[in-house]
Structure 1
């Protein structure tokens, strides 16, 4: 997963806003990267552009070695379904479907039938084997996010993008979600890019990328402690004022 001189602008003329400014970033296979920065620094825009949810203004994004800028919408959607996983703060599970049905959905959309026991095994990995038949309303927030992680992992994507995955959870549930994301990297060689404002969450990553005004301003190789991350974050927020 790579971003080469990626620029993203919104608006036109005097109302143009540069959300990303010539960002270069490479996310090596089997690594866990946290993206941090002050409000308005470009974190969410980076994630959306890296995942192909937003088209870039300039530069190039490569997913699994494929430059996505020249793909039409159908080809881009097909690539995302097969090679990209998502975990959102709001879970984004389909209320009418059971946990198992939510997990199998990316496989169905990618045109692949699940192997025997594949979905059950995936739910087992996130500790929800006994909840396969439960709908989201019957699950706690932490359990719903674990279903979302299983859903993201089931296609074994090239990269998983996580947008504030612990933002709606209590500390205990959040810690369990972070443990599962870390395990996906360590056990399965999964690549994860996570946007977060929480230094404790970022401390689970191998690397922390800091943004300010749409640019990469610092890049800490880890493991990096939450205290050091908090200090860097405070400095960036102070300079942004």
Structure 2
């Protein structure tokens, strides 16, 4: 088994034809190592969300290859892709995507239930305890704060112990204090549980919590920086990319 959880090689993603043809990703190659926290940033339209969707098997690239946990996605059927996403990939979105009529524990158990499986005894409670919601098992989304709803979504993403968690603007709908708590949790999952996290964000403060920041511009990797970066450095680099793309 390699040390790389996610590998994208020469990924191209195009939409439309002729004058309407849009190149969202233009030959992107990047790998994300196990047990690391990576942020993906760039101006609007740079290809951030497309990169995440291709990496997670939500969209198929026009060309190139994607490998997750040593499994190549290219040859998988839609059913096989669905099973891979269910078993080996966790998702956290800005909009939480919780079912309003279900309790926190029912939301966390839902992916397994839809797959015809029953979570292991105690697994749902343990997942909610991991994100600090041991006393909110039977609360519905309307009875939870935004930050608590996002933590339920994180517990749902983590219950299968996935190879990678893809987070798409996970703090975008939260205030600064709640955002910090969510980022603290993601950071702890990486540091204490060796979880691999790939996060798309527009927020330099969020990106500064990562081990690495991959900058995209016009569908290509413009920079790939490892090591601690201050939010001000990230903001300046992003502003420079915005100026270049105008």
Name the TM tier (shorter chain). Answer: over 0.9
Q: Which residue of 1 aligns with 2:236?
A: 231
TM-score, structure 2 length as denominator? 0.96
d(CA) in 2 for partners of 1:185, 1:214: 28
Shift of 1:111: 4.5
Count residues with an aligned counterpart.
241
1:50 to 28, 46, 55: 55
Shift of 1:211: 0.1
Counterparts of residues 92-107 of structure 1 (less than 5 Å): 92-107=97-112
Counterparts of residues 92-241 of structure 1 (less than 5 Å): 92-241=97-246
Shift of 1:110: 4.3
Q: Deviations over 1:117-171 (max 9, x none)?
A: 2111111111111110001111111100010011111101011110000000001
Pair 1:71-2:88 in alignment: no
Q: Deviations over 1:36-70 (max 9, x none)?
A: 00000000000111111111100001111111011
1:25 to 21, 30, 35: 30
Shift of 1:108: 2.7
CA RMSD in angstroms, aligned pairs only: 1.0
d(CA) in 2 for partners of 1:180, 1:46: 24
Question: Which residues of structure 1 form unaligned runs of 5+?
Answer: none
TM-score, structure 1 length as denominator? 0.97
